[in-house]
Amino acid sequence: MFGIGMPELLVILVVALIIIGPKKLPDVAKALGKGFSEFRKATENVKESLHVDEIKDEVDDIKDSLLYGTSDENEKDTSPEKDKSDFANRKS
């Protein structure tokens, strides 16, 4: 959780207990939990409104097509014989 191990978490809890006091600690912890929950919901709403997942999927598709050559343009026949026959058909 946030790169904090058990010893660090215990130190934080002891310091919070000393500073806040045992009577107010549950209320403060409850308020912090609600704050983190609201923050998480707000970030999810921002992600949804910006369509981050859709854009990421499109970027991944483009990246794959560039790396592996799986785009529709690569499937077209661009051989010199094809170009000559197209030119001959247009001329006549």
Residue 36 has what pLDDT? 93
- For the chain, which residues make up each domain, given as ranges? 39-70
Portion of the chain with pLDDT greater than 70, in percent? 73
User: DSSP states of 10-76 as a string?
Assistant: HHHHHHHHHHH-TTTHHHHHHHHHHHHHHHHHHHHHHHHHHTHHHHHHHHHHHHHHHHH--SGGGGS
pLDDT at 71 over 80: no
The pTM of the full predicted model, rounded to 2 decimals, is 0.44
- The arithmetic mean of pLDDT across residues 26-39, rounded, is 93
